[in-house]
Amino acid sequence: MKQIADLRAEIEGWQSLERRTKDTLELVQLQDESLLPELEEETTKIEKELSQRELTTLLSGPYDRGNAILTITSGAGGTESCDWAAMLERMYLRWAENRGYKSEILDRTEGEEAGIKSVTIAVDGDYAYGYLHPEKGVHRLVRLSPFDAAHRRHTSFAQVEVMPEASQEDLEVQINPEDLKIDIYRSSGAGGQNVQKNSTAVRITHIPTGIVVSCQNERSQLQNRENAMRVLRARLLTIYQEEKEQELSKLRGEHVATNFGSQIRSYVLHPYQMVKDHRTDYETSATQVTLDGDIDGFIEAYLKSQRPAK
């Protein structure tokens, strides 16, 4: 029923665009110059929507239309990389907000001095996984370090992983409760009133695969357990799909080392301003705008580069 509703909404969207286009063409034929400002505005809107709808036709994977689980992990480099991971977290949360998607932090591990060691975010909305999956890979930052007393230039890395969210009804992900080892522990975090006095954090180990997921962001042990199971299902779905299709790049991409030479995108803040995607050569000098969540240009360039040749 959900698939039928999604298809019906998509068809109605195309039909509405067709009607608007025909109405605009009819007004153009009147050759009334007073209508020119209105026609220009409507034409711009139609072109923008058409471009967006054309892009969604490239998202035809089985999970492209669904929600996503996004994980950011700091690479080698200590405080620098932890701070970079936090900058990426902010970038993706801003991107999700700008698109009207719902985002929820499922698990977050703070850095020892600043930033974060890792964060797992659930992003809910139409085509969330389809748009986010081009972001998987290593992201590299070059800047003058705010943590270096000598203010020298540093290079930092962070790994971004994007997985499709699997529903409990997904037949490809069947979890046997006997295959799970569940540990309950006290959440770590800031001191003072924020220290958890009860054991609410949950760590789940899937024994057959060795996958370990943990969640401690909620104050409810039940909620943390549910969130941990969401992440576990997403990881298992990714593994099953990779095994089924025999190509790592289909859903998750190849897992690569978080170091030099393996990055998909570089963010250079010094000695010049540039963000460049090494897969498509798409680049922009508007580094702050990009870090504020405007990454659609990079996503669109990658999706179009994957379009089959005619």
Q: What is the pLDDT of residue 62?
A: 83
Q: What is the pLDDT of residue 300?
A: 93
pLDDT: which is higher, 204 or 6: 204
202-225 mean pLDDT: 90
Regarding the domain delimited by 68-167+247-305, which CATH topology (the fold level of the hierarchy) does it fall under?
Answer: Alpha-Beta Plaits (3.30.70)
Q: How confident is the model at residue 194 (pLDDT cuts 50, 70, 90)?
A: very low
Q: How confident is the model at residue 169 (pLDDT cuts 50, 70, 90)?
A: low
The class level of CATH for 177-243 reads alpha beta
Q: What is the pLDDT of residue 188?
A: 66
183-212 mean pLDDT: 75
Q: What is the pLDDT of residue 198?
A: 65
237-248 mean pLDDT: 71
How much of the chain, in percent, has pLDDT values that exceed 90?
Answer: 59
pLDDT: which is higher, 306 or 260: 306
47-67 mean pLDDT: 87
Q: What is the pLDDT of residue 266?
A: 96
Q: What is the pLDDT of residue 191?
A: 42
Q: How confident is the model at residue 120 (pLDDT cuts 50, 70, 90)?
A: very high
193 pLDDT higher than 60: no
pTM, entire model = 0.81
Q: What is the pLDDT of residue 87?
A: 97
Question: Domain spans of the chain?
Answer: 2-56, 68-167+247-305, 177-243
107-127 mean pLDDT: 92
Q: Half-sphere exposure (CA, 13 Å, Cβ side) for 25? A: 6
16-35 mean pLDDT: 92
Q: What is the pLDDT of residue 199?
A: 77
Dist CA 182 CA 179 (whole Å):
10
